[in-house]
């Protein structure tokens, strides 16, 4: 209904403008609605009949020749077909109506109104040329703005599903590694094992708080890594050292939860830690654009099997937020550079930020 209302409104306006222009060009004055009211009405009738014809013609042409694959052919066909059909319609109906109303013979109509017919034809051709330009532009907008948005939404939904799947892998993985540490402590020091369990419960609360969060502040993630580092010290004592040197202006930026913890955990997992082979993990910033996690390398006595929840998990989660790649360097030190995530305002943080229990 709205389409027809718009169609009638535009056609009526153009019909009146065309009539006024042709009348003024011939007589040097504007037509009076009182004297020329009949011709105003005929102009409106012809304009609306033309608009309806063009509307239904275009719908058939859209089904026959697609704009998407044959844009130029569709444009030229639409221009030619609409121009010819409209010219024939206006000429036929105009001849018939003016013949009935003014007693002009059908054979003499063209000779009497030849100049007006050519002016009207030129106006029709120009109008339909501009109309096809805007119609093609409207199709481009509809296809690329609406169709593509739908496609992006579908891709976004798939990423959401993938992201949730990745997060679901983290909690069991973290719990599994902590339980391994507890099992080793129970035979060495039961009090230390009890303290470890209490601290582990505190850090696991961080995972539960942020289970549904896509991003946390870097400040929260750093505090969690510090708490996790305490658990590692219980097992490795002073043979493992963690140093964090991050500028304050980056602490309020966002990061996927547990990314830093996974990198620290991987450093411990893939290196042998002892008095003779201590391990140093260093977290810093590179040009305020990347967060760098580097660790020294030792020879692992028993290489651990990867459960594929480390670097690949981090890569996939970062891909959800930024096109920038994670940089991995494996030379004298093993270094991972995480891009600082910007423009993350659409992802809300947890209402109650996690803080470690003293």
Domains belonging to the chain, first-starting first, are 2-150 (no CATH), 188-339 (3.30.565.10)
pLDDT at 155: 65
91 pLDDT more than 90? no
Which two structure tokens, joined as six digits, stand for 301?
Answer: 């006595």
Selected residue with higher pLDDT from 224 and 130 = 224
pLDDT at 262: 85
pLDDT at 307: 44
For the entire predicted model, the pTM comes to 0.54
pLDDT at 243: 95
pLDDT at 290: 94
How large is the average pLDDT for residues 63-68? 73
At residue 243, φ and ψ (nearest 5 deg) are -120, 135
Question: Are 71 and 136 contacting, i.e. CB atoms less than 8 angstroms apart?
Answer: yes
Which two structure tokens, joined as six digits, stand for 80?
Answer: 């030619």
pLDDT at 53: 78
Selected residue with higher pLDDT from 185 and 263 = 263
**N residues, the chain:** 358
Dihedral angle, C-alpha 139, 145, 151, 153, nearest 10 °: -150
Question: Are 144 and 138 contacting, i.e. CB atoms less than 8 angstroms apart?
Answer: no
Question: Are 116 and 124 contacting, i.e. CB atoms less than 8 angstroms apart?
Answer: no
Lowest mean pLDDT among 84-93, 189-198, 241-250: 84-93
Q: Of 7-21, 142-156, 176-190, 321-335, give the range with the top mean pLDDT.
A: 321-335
Question: Are 207 and 170 contacting, i.e. CB atoms less than 8 angstroms apart?
Answer: yes
Local confidence band at 241 (pLDDT 50, 70, 90 cut-offs): very high
Quote the CA–CA distance of 333 and 281 in Å, as a whole number: 10
Average pLDDT, the chain: 76
Quote the CA–CA distance of 291 and 337 in Å, as a whole number: 6
pLDDT at 141: 67
281 pLDDT more than 80? yes
How large is the average pLDDT for residues 202-227? 83
Quote the CA–CA distance of 36 and 30 in Å, as a whole number: 10
Selected residue with higher pLDDT from 251 and 5 = 251
pLDDT tens across 311-332, in order? Answer: 887 888 888 788 888 999 988 8
């Amino acid at each position: 209904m709205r389409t027809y209302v718009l169609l009638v409104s535009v056609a009526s306006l153009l019909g009146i403008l065309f009539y006024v222009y042709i009348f003024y060009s011939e007589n040097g004055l504007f037509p009076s609605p009182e004297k020329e009211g009949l011709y105003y009405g005929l102009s409106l009738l012809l304009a609306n009949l033309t608009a309806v014809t063009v509307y239904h013609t275009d719908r058939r042409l859209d089904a026959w020749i697609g704009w998407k694959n044959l844009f130029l052919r569709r444009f030229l066909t639409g221009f030619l077909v609409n121009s010819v059909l409209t010219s024939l319609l206006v000429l036929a109906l105009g001849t018939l109506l003016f013949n009935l109303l003014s007693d002009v013979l059908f054979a003499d109509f063209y000779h009497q109104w030849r100049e007006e017919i050519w002016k009207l034809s030129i106006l029709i051709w120009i109008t339909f040329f501009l109309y096809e330009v805007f119609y093609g532009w409207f199709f481009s907008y509809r296809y690329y703005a609406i169709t593509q948005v739908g496609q992006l939404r579908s891709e976004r939904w798939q990423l959401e599903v993938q992201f949730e799947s990745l997060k679901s892998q983290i909690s069991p993985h973290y719990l599994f590694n902590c339980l391994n540490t507890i099992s080793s402590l129970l035979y060495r020091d039961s009090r230390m094992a009890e303290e470890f369990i209490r601290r582990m419960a505190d850090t696991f609360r961080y995972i539960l708080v942020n289970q549904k969060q896509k991003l946390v502040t870097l400040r929260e993630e750093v505090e969690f890594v510090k708490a996790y580092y305490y658990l590692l010290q219980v097992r490795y004592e002073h043979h493992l050292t963690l140093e964090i040197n991050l500028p304050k202006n980056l602490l309020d930026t966002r990061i996927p939860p547990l990314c830093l913890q996974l990198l620290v955990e991987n450093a411990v997992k893939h290196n042998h830690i002892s008095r003779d082979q201590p391990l140093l993990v260093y977290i810093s910033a590179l040009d305020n654009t990347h967060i760098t996690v580097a660790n020294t390398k030792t020879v692992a006595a028993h290489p651990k099997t990867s459960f594929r929840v480390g670097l690949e998990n981090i890569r996939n989660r970062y891909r959800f937020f930024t096109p920038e790649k994670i940089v991995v360097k494996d030379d004298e030190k093993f270094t991972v550079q995480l891009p600082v995530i910007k423009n993350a305002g659409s992802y809300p943080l947890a209402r109650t930020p996690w803080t470690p229990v003293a």
